[in-house]
Structure 1
Amino acid sequence: MRVYCQCGSGSSVRRSVTLSADTAALYCSCRDPECGHSFVSEIGFKHTLELPEKVQDQLSGYAQGEGVLWLWKPCCYSENEPAFHKRC
């Protein structure tokens, strides 16, 4: 992923701070020495376009009426418990 300064030059991510399970603050510095801009950019999970294969395989049980389906979020997935059975 690339983060650009407002001047149009590329920037370097100096540090990141996790704000939540799906959001982080990126502390950035412009690479253009004439600009010298330092700024914070925020990045976060918006929505899923396609479920991972592991989750799709687990959903086949739901299609047969074996459980309750919750919205899937990547922060919830673990090997031990299907993400769609767990609330985040």
Structure 2
Amino acid sequence: MAVKCLCGAKARVRSTKLLSEQVTNLYCACSDVFCGHTFVITQSFSHSINPAKQASDGAVFELLQNMCEKDRMQLFNRFLSVPAN
């Protein structure tokens, strides 16, 4: 992640502080020695565009686990009857 100072020069993240699972403070310093600005950026998670595969795989596995054997077998048979692309 590229961070820029208000002066337009590149800045470096010197340290971070985790505020919560989804919010972090980034402590930054300008790389321009004539500026010397230090500042904090608050970074937060907004939303997923494409959910993580692990999360969706886990949800599918849990749903399959909670199905009765008959319904699970019907679902598998329907899946096997779909032609491959």
Q: 2:6 aligns to what?
A: 6
The 5 Å alignment of 1:15-54 reads 15-54=15-54
Task: Name which one, 1 or 2, has greater alpha-carbon Rg.
Answer: 2
Over aligned residues, Cα RMSD in angstroms? 1.7
Which has more helix, going by share of residues? 2
- Between the aligned partners of 1:32 and 1:12, the Cα distance in structure 2 is 10
Aligned sequence identity (%):
34
Q: TM-score by structure 1 length?
A: 0.65
Question: After the TM superposition, which segments of 4 or more aligned residues of structure 1 sit over 2 Å from their partners?
Answer: 58-64
Gaps of 5+ in 1: 67-88
Question: Structure 2: where are the runs of 5+ without partners?
Answer: 67-85
TM-score, with length taken from structure 2: 0.67
Aligned residues: 65
